[in-house]
Amino acid sequence: MAGRSNVGKSSLINAVLKRKAVARVSQTPGKTQAIHFYLINEKFYVVDLPGYGYAKVAKDVKRSWGDLVRGYLESSDMLRLIFLLLDVRRSPTPEDLEMHDWMRASGIEERILLTKTDKLSNNQLIKARNAIAGELEVDVATLIATSAETNKGIEDVRRAIVSRI
């Protein structure tokens, strides 16, 4: 799971795993400062990467997170799928676009999850999905709209995981 700080990675992990507190959820961006591995049913790992972008930490700490994440993504031979999480209410940041471009270039399969969709009306969601798909240059149908609050899209995420095990 990759994405900006405060995009909802931990909440989504908890929703996908049907657990309330597997991944620590915080109101303060930047709390995930290491790579967290969650072994699921002794079969596979869900990996929570530190968020990029806004976080109240020193620049050298942010830079070390980038090195940590890049090292993991480039050296993991077990990596089958990366979920790029984007807050549906925000335009993709330069860091989001950079991560998306890196994933395309790396050959690692990527699924884009739009988080916090419960905060928008259906019309707003349609507009936001179309705008984000355009900015990322992907088919809008490939975006998975999710909400950890309502469980929208969570089964789609589970199916994407199971299909790679």
Distances (CA, A) of 140 to 38, 83, 93, 131, 153: 30, 16, 18, 9, 15
Read off the pTM. 0.85
Give the model's pLDDT for residue 78. Answer: 81
CB 112 within 8 Å of CB 152: no
pLDDT of amino acid 66: 63
Domains of the chain listed by start with CATH number: 2-162 (3.40.50.300)
Say what the pLDDT of residue 21 is: 65
What pLDDT was estimated at residue 51? 79
**Among all chains, which residue has been given the structure tokens 């349609």?**
126
pLDDT along the chain (165 residues), means of 10: 88 88 56 76 88 60 63 79 95 91 85 96 97 96 95 96 88
Q: Residue 129 carries which side chain, given as an amino acid letter?
A: R
The predicted structure's pLDDT at residue 95: 87
